[in-house]
Every structure is written in C-alpha cells, then in structure tokens.
A = this chain, B = another copy of it.
Amino acid sequence: MPHPLQSEVRNRLLKVIPQEAFESLRPYLELIDLALKQSLVEPNVPNDAVYFLESGLGSVVAQSSDGETVEVGHVGREGMAGYHVLLMTPTSTHRTFMQSMGSAFKVSVDPFMAALEKHPQMRNLLLRYVHSCEVQLGHSALANARYNMHERLARWLLMCHDRLEGDDLALTHEFLSLMLGVRRSGVTEQLHILEGLHAIKATRGNIRIVDRAKLEDVAGGCYGAPEAEYKRLIENQDARSIGQFQV
C-alpha cells in the first residue's frame, strides 16, 4: 500500500484531514513496520520523518540530565509521532519509541512541512492534536503528583487499551515499572490486586483487560480528561468545520 486511499488508512488523523490535503501527502506516505523498541524520535536529534501510526503503540519518555526517566505520553493510531516539527523545531528533548510493535505511514519532514504550508486546515487540525497531547502531558504530571500507584497503573492500562486492538497487552512488570517510574515488585503487587478485582488477567508477559469499567473505577479522576479533549478537538468535527478556530 504505497499510495493508500484515504478510506483505507486507519490512522485517525489521516482519516479526518481534508481530502485535498491527504492527496498532496499521499505520494509521500510510506507504510513501514515498526519493531518492538524501535526508536521514532531520539532526544536532541533532528528527525527526518514523522509517523502516523496504523497499529501498535508508542511511548513518549522524558529524561533528565542525571538519567531519570518516566513516560509522559502515549501514541497510537489516534495520533502521530514527531509532532514537534509542527512546533517548528527539528528536535525534541523527549524520546519516542515503540512499546508494542506495529506499523505506520512514514512521511519525510520536507514534504510534510510543504504540505502543512499548502493546507492550513490540515495544519490546524494537527495543531489541535498537539493541544490534546499537551493536556496529556499535564495530566501525567498531575497523576504522578497526586495519585497512588494503583490509580496510575489503572490509568496506564486504560490508555494502552484505548490505543490497541483487542484486550491483550504484551507487557512485563519490569517495563511497566519503568514507564510509571516505580519499583518493579510494586507493580507486581498492584497487578495482583487488580486481578483480585477481576479487572485484569495477568500471565507471563501479558495483561488481559477483563473488566474495563472496573479499571476506570479504580483510576477515578486520574483518567479521562485528555481523552475527552481529543474527542472534542479531533473527532467531533464535521467536514465544514475541520481546522476552524471554534469551540
């Protein structure tokens, strides 16, 4: 699928951009596989392409000068990786890598920037996506400051579940602990509790979401705000109003 039709793509951003914008991007859309742990954006390295995910899941990670890291954002097929080029910088301090393998339409930066220039409606829509990512970042900060591990864990599982097909998440406790910035065996304990509630079913290297409603219950106010903002700004758009400045 080197030159996909807009109706064939699954990425939600590509799906909602105006048709003529999609057409001008189309010759540059290159469908590629993304391996587990593959890096899409390296910190402080100019990236030569942006990625509209079709499947799989990416993590955005912040890193401090003394080596501490934590995940601050998720990217699935609702979004794109490398959006900092929309903010006119070829580099970011955040790393983006594949947490769960998948595929994406890769677009080189040059034609991408040219298409933005040519299609303000697309540009504006993508900027709105950037805003929803801002909200996500803010709520990651809030979650880390004010919620306990089990609430953050539930939030994290929900965010994965939102972005992947099926109810199985291929994750190890170790990986989860890195993402949440907590101790590995703490994750093990909390997963047992969630399993006790019959919200999830954990096996080696896998977590199955059994009862999403229960997870949302556990997460409480920790989950939801960025998702609502995404819906408001991206999904609740009819053809006329795409990329307009409006409520």
Contacts and interface: CB of A to CB of B under 8 A. Distances in A.
B87 A180 contact: no
Contact of A135 (B86, B92, B180): B92
Q: Which of A70, A91, A131, A233 has the most CB of B within 10 A?
A: A131
A46 interface: yes
A88 B66 CA distance: 36
A102 to B, nearest CB: 23
A38 to B, nearest CB: 21
Interface in A195-235: 220-222, 224-225, 229, 233
A3 to B, nearest CB: 26
A87 to B, nearest CB: 4
A40 to B, nearest CB: 16
Contacts of A46: 247
B141 A140 contact: yes
A131 B92 contact: yes
Contacts of A90: 245-247
A25 interface: no
Contact of A139 (B62, B87, B125): B62
B145 A89 contact: no
A101 interface: no
A64 interface: yes
Contacts of A60: 138
26 contacts: A46-B247, A60-B138, A62-B138, A64-B139, A64-B221, A64-B225, A65-B221, A70-B145, A70-B146, A72-B138, A88-B128, A88-B243, A88-B245, A89-B128, A89-B131, A91-B247, A93-B135, A93-B138, A130-B130, A133-B134, A137-B137, A137-B140, A141-B141, A141-B144, A145-B180, A146-B181
Given A68-B142, A141-B143, 19 more contacts: A62-B139, A62-B141, A62-B142, A64-B222, A70-B141, A72-B138, A85-B245, A87-B128, A87-B130, A87-B134, A88-B127, A88-B244, A88-B245, A89-B233, A90-B247, A93-B138, A137-B141, A144-B144, A145-B180
